[in-house]
Amino acid sequence: MTANDQPKFDPEYVATLREVLDIAVTQIATEHRTPATKAVMAQIIVQNAARGVTDARALVHDAVLAGADGAP
């Protein structure tokens, strides 16, 4: 996804996605809760939301999978 085709989310939806990220972060090991890991998890959430995924559980699940081992 390039900068030109970034999804446009309204502020309310961005706040919801932030909550999803916060929930997902609590589900990974404390030692992996770094800014880099959170960025990877946020990227997964935004990509999935841009593809039309609206189920919060699915968004959390995929983010947790992405952050479970920490950022590379």
Residue 67 to residue 59: CA distance in whole angstroms:
12
Task: Supply the range of the domain harboring residue 24.
Answer: 9-67
In this structure, what are the phi and psi dihedrals at residue 34, rounded to the nearest 5 degrees?
-100, 160
Q: State residue 56's pLDDT score.
A: 96
Contacts of 16 by beta carbon, 8 Å cutoff, 6+ apart:
56
How confident is residue 44, by pLDDT bands cut at 50, 70 and 90? very high
3 DSSP 8-state letter: G
Q: State residue 71's pLDDT score.
A: 87
As for how many domains the chain has, the answer is 1
Mean pLDDT for 20-49 is: 97
Q: State residue 55's pLDDT score.
A: 96
Determine, yes or no, domain membership for 2: no
Instruction: Report how many helices (DSSP H) and strands (DSSP E) the chain contains, helices first.
Output: 3, 0
Determine, yes or no, domain membership for 72: no
Determine, yes or no, domain membership for 35: yes
| Average pLDDT over the chain, rounded to an integer | 92
Place of tokens 């446009």: 8
